[in-house]
Amino acid sequence: MGARLWLSGTWLGLLALAALFAPWVAPHDPLAQDLFLGRLPPFWMDGAEPGYWLGTDSLGRDVLSRMIHGARIALMVALIAGTLTCLIGATLGVLAGFYRGWSDRIISRLVDIWMAFPPVLFAILLIAVLGPGLLSIILAIVIIDWTRFARVIRAETLSQGAMDYVASAQVAGRTRFSTMIAEILPNILPTVIALLTLEMGIAVIVEAILSFVNLSISTDSPTWGGMIAEGRTSVHQAWWVLVFPLFTLFLTVLSFSQLGEGLKDRFDPVLR
């Protein structure tokens, strides 16, 4: 049962270490161009140059080094945007689901209206207004995706609120607020954690999409989405520029969602 927790944890751990120590881990400067070394294939193919393990792009930049530096942005966006989105959305969801009444009406209508916007266009519009940059990406993700948490956590809180242990807390003389924090919250935490890691994966994807349409951060900083966009133009001559970052992206997003499921199983006393 623990296999997916360990596999996803290991991959994300390696990625985090690589991102943290990128300047020491990366074999080359991710921005160093050398037109004589353009489009070198990865190490197992003919014509590979030693030291450039995953080949180079059309400007001669090392693909592996750019991916390692790209992981910094990806993980930073995942952690910060994911956590902020979770905090805001889950708080609103719990308030709506627990107190119901007018707080629920306001929050739920807001979610309905919010979700009627097409998310990718909404993001592009927001970046256009806020201007490109790491902070803008994080803000855009938080502003768009809090509804996902609010909706799911509200439903979960509603169903927990109907349980008799809530009535029993009232019989025992617990205050409403304390019931919400001490009785309900521990029961929705597994769902929150699963959603949080899912959201981290989504944040990585959104960052890649925004980089892909060149609305991410400046082209000086390598990003996975930016690499995929550059690789797309020369996919027939140098497929590795596209495929390696794409595969890394895929593995990372998958690992985030599996990590969430694994943690949920692990910390649920009923399932354990």
Partner 1 sequence: MYEIRNLRLSFPDMAHKPLFGAPPQIEILKGLSFDIPKGVVLGIVGGSGSGKSTLGRAMLRLLEPSSGTIRFDGTDITHLSEPELRPLRRRFQMIFQDPMSSLNPRRQVHGLIAGPLRLHGMEDVTGRVSRALDMVGLPQNFATRYPHELSGGQRQRVGIARALALEPDFILADEIVSGLDVSSQAQVLNLLSQLVDELRMTLAFISHDLSVIRRLCTRVLVLHHGKIVEQAETAALFDAPAADYTRELLAAIPLPDPYQEWA
d(CA 86, CA 69): 26
| For partner 1, the closer CB: 116 or 162 | 162
Min separation Cβ 170 and partner 1, Å: 6
Q: How far is the CB of 165 from partner 1 (least distance, A)?
A: 4
Amino acid, res. 5:
L
Q: How far is the CB of 172 from partner 1 (least distance, A)?
A: 4
Nearer Cβ to partner 1 (104/199): 104
Smaller CB separation from partner 1, 1 or 3: 1
The CA distance from 78 to 205, in Å, is 9
Comparing CB distances to partner 1, the nearer of 175 and 214 is 175
Judged by CB, which is closer to partner 1: 236, or 272?
272
Task: Concatenate the DSSP letters of all residues of the chain into one string.
Answer: -THHHHHHHHHHHHHHHHHHTHHHHSSS-TT---GGGTTPPPTTSTT--TT-TT-B-TT--BHHHHHHHHHHHHHHHHHHHHHHHHHHHHHHHHHHHHH-HHHHHHHHHHHHHHHTS-HHHHHHHHHHHH-SSHHHHHHHHHHHHHHHHHHHHHHHHHHHHTSHHHHHHHHTT--HHHHIIIIIHHHHHHHHHHHHHHHHHHHHHHHHHHHHTT-SS-TTS--HHHHHHHHHHTTTT-THHHHHHHHHHHHHHHHHHHHHHHHHHHH-TTT-
Q: Which residue, 45 or 167, is less far from partner 1 as judged by CB?
A: 167
Residues near partner 1 (CB under 8 A) = 163-165, 167-168, 170-176, 183, 186-187, 269-270
For the CB of residue 200, give the shortest distance to partner 1 in the complex, in Å.
25
CB of 91 to partner 1, least distance (A): 20
Nearer to partner 1, 160 or 197 (CB): 160
Minimum distance, C-beta of residue 162 to partner 1, in the bound complex (Å): 9
Q: Taking the CB of residue 113, how many other CB atoms lie within 10 A of it? A: 10
Tell the smallest beta-carbon distance from residue 271 to partner 1 (Å).
9
Which residues have C-beta within 8 Å of that of residue 245, sequence separation ≥ 6? Answer: 63, 66, 67, 70, 224, 227, 228, 231
CB of 37 to partner 1, least distance (A): 58
Closer to partner 1 by Cβ: residue 174 or 266: 174
